[in-house]
Chain A
Amino acid sequence: MELLPQIYFGLFAVLALACALTVLVARHPINAAMALIGMMTSLSGLYAILHAPFLAVLQVLVYAGAIVMLLVFVIMVLNGAKDDHTPRFGSLGLVLLIVPAALAALLTRTFRGETISNNEAALRGTVDLTGQQLFGPTGYVLLFEAVGFVLLTALVGAVLLAKRELDSHKETKA
């Protein structure tokens, strides 16, 4: 049993949980977005020690790099600081906390007796092997193309939504 990976696992796990809890209780959306970046970066570290380097890089590039950047950009454009009067939690909030707590308790009970262990023969998820799995003969080429269409649809949809907003502004001004 090597000790170093376990230390890193503990470190990243605590960091990810702390950042996720910060998102849960933060007041300002910008603080939560920064905590979200922390959580995604520590998950990237976890992927690296779980022998999935391609996913680790993808996590930083797409999640921490693109998605949270978009989120921060929109928060700053809309000036989320204005809504200090919005209460953090809804009136039903504490009651609804039962749902995740029950889920956690149920799954913990299910998992506890199980013995799953890492397989010695598991492959390392390098770019090479992941690409072969994606585009190989038994691969996910069709799914890959479908995801491409979904991304294109999302792009066009977002542009159309924002464009309608701009047009309505023009009408109100005229």
Chain B
Amino acid sequence: MAMDSENVTADVIESNEFPSYSARYAVQAVPKTVINDRVKFLGAVPEGRFLQEVLKAFPTEEEAGHGLNEDGGAPGSTATQP
């Protein structure tokens, strides 16, 4: 995907070599994919499903309108109401 869009950065991280960084994302099994710190899933998935997960990684209009998840919080995370 990174080869098809300048908007995409794709990282492969050897989790054993970066235990603290991996712990930040609660990596207990691999492969674990994290998209924009918002969407997380385990295992390999088909291309269409992967794209759906990528598209979920953006704030919804409602969230954007309320200024939520600006810090990349996970979906469903509690947020302070204005």
Do A and B originate from a single complex? no
